[in-house]
Amino acid sequence: MNKIKTIGVMTSGGDAPGMNAAVRAVVRTGLHYGYKMALIKHGFSGLINGEIMEAGFTSVGDTLQRGGTFIGTARCAEFTTEAGQKRGAQMAKIFDLDAVVVIGGDGSYKGALALSRQGISVIGIPGTIDNDIASTDYTIGFDTAMNTALDAIDKLRDTSLSHDRCSVVEVMGRRAGYIAAQVGMAAGADVVLVPEEDYDIDRDVIGPLIETRNKGKKHFIVVVAEGVGMTEQLSEAITKYTGVEARPTILGHIQRGGTPTLRDREMASRMGHFAVELLHNGKENRLVGYRNGVLVDYDIEEGLKMTKKMDPKDVEISKILAQ
């Protein structure tokens, strides 16, 4: 058993579909074990400002099927400063929070680490559509975002096919190409560009498109990760050098919204439950992860030092299948 009486939960950074299901799981598991539970609104910013309220069973009712995060989120610059961190920890103490569960990405984990250094126990749950957290194979929101992007690309394919055009689609992922690589493969993209790989426009875009066109194909899909960028310029270059009319589409924040898929609700429910079990079993300052099909936990400092690399094979497969 442990000394913890009250557990707070927050969502932080970019929202991701499934975050609500994770909050619900944390609150309901905590109540199940007899803890007092609290919702911290708007991430670390809400912690600093004392936007904290007690949560009962019904506080999280009718939320798990909803997109976004009903407790709000923020990217909080103030919490990157020592003064902000001290203020956040002070607020946690004022509201009797012994532990805080932080649902978010790498930046939010850094905030959680800072909070732990101020004497508040923390647990991190991976929540970001980008799937770019090193201490886990899966992050909440990834599946829903990919399905949203896939649905959009399927629709773009209909119009590209009708006009014999090339659709150049930018998907989210500033630092990571996981969405681009997997959606590109599933959408049958002719070219996939990810920030992890350097590319040469002639070798990797124009050349392959001309080769495919020479085999008789008339419509094309190019998927570009946000971190590669230059989507409009790329589209213009494709029109100019291949003779195929290209049109750019930036999917943007639409990928962050919508009803979470089964996978995201299930993973969020399991991870939220697991996070509270860690605290209940006396563990603190851990990151929840999913490795080779099972839930695991890592020390927060160790987890933040880990690195993750996209498998280049994911892009390679799309190339092979397109040609």
C-alpha to C-alpha distance for 215 and 139, rounded to whole angstroms: 39
Q: How long is the chain?
A: 323
Query: Any contact of residue 173 with ligand F6P (CB under 6 A)?
Result: yes
Query: Any contact of residue 226 with ligand F6P (CB under 6 A)?
Result: yes
Nearer to ligand F6P, 98 or 143 (CB): 143
Q: Are 77 and 46 in contact (CB under 8 A)?
A: no
- Please choose, out of 108-116, 128-136, 183-191, 214-222, the segment that lies near ligand F6P by the rule CB under 6 A: 128-136
Query: Any contact of residue 174 with ligand F6P (CB under 6 A)?
Result: yes
Which of 14, 18, 111, 289 touches ligand F6P by CB under 6 A? Answer: 14
Query: Any contact of residue 129 with ligand F6P (CB under 6 A)?
Result: yes
C-alpha to C-alpha distance for 103 and 288, rounded to whole angstroms: 10
- Please choose, out of 169-177, 237-245, 268-276, 313-321, the segment that lies near ligand F6P by the rule CB under 6 A: 169-177
Query: Any contact of residue 130 with ligand F6P (CB under 6 A)?
Result: yes
Residue type, 37: M
Q: List active site positions.
A: 130
Subset of residues 233 to 252 that bind ligand F6P, contact rule: CB under 6 A? none
Which single residue brings its beta carbon nearest to ligand F6P?
14
Using a 10 angstrom Cβ sphere, with 0-12 exposed, 13-18 middle and 19 or more buried, the burial of residue 110 is middle
Query: Any contact of residue 189 with ligand F6P (CB under 6 A)?
Result: no
Query: Any contact of residue 213 with ligand F6P (CB under 6 A)?
Result: no
Q: Are 257 and 68 in contact (CB under 8 A)?
A: yes
- Please choose, out of 95-103, 158-166, 171-179, 276-284, the segment that lies near ligand F6P by the rule CB under 6 A: 171-179
Contacts 24+ apart (CB under 8 A), 112-117: 112/300, 113/285, 113/300, 113/301, 113/304, 114/79, 114/80, 114/85, 115/44, 115/47, 115/85, 115/88, 115/89, 116/284, 116/285, 116/300, 117/85
State the pairing for strand pair 294-299/286-291.
antiparallel
Which of 120, 123, 172, 193 touches ligand F6P by CB under 6 A? Answer: 172
C-alpha to C-alpha distance for 177 and 141, rounded to whole angstroms: 15
Query: Any contact of residue 22 with ligand F6P (CB under 6 A)?
Result: no
- Site map 263..282 versus ligand F6P, x via CB under 6 A: --------------------
- Return the ∠ at Cα 68 (arms to 64 and 70), rounded to 5°: 70
Residue 221 bridge partners (DSSP) = 167
- Please choose, out of 1-9, 47-55, 123-131, 314-322, the segment that lies near ligand F6P by the rule CB under 6 A: 123-131
Binding site for ligand F6P (CB under 6 A): 14, 128-130, 172-174, 226, 256
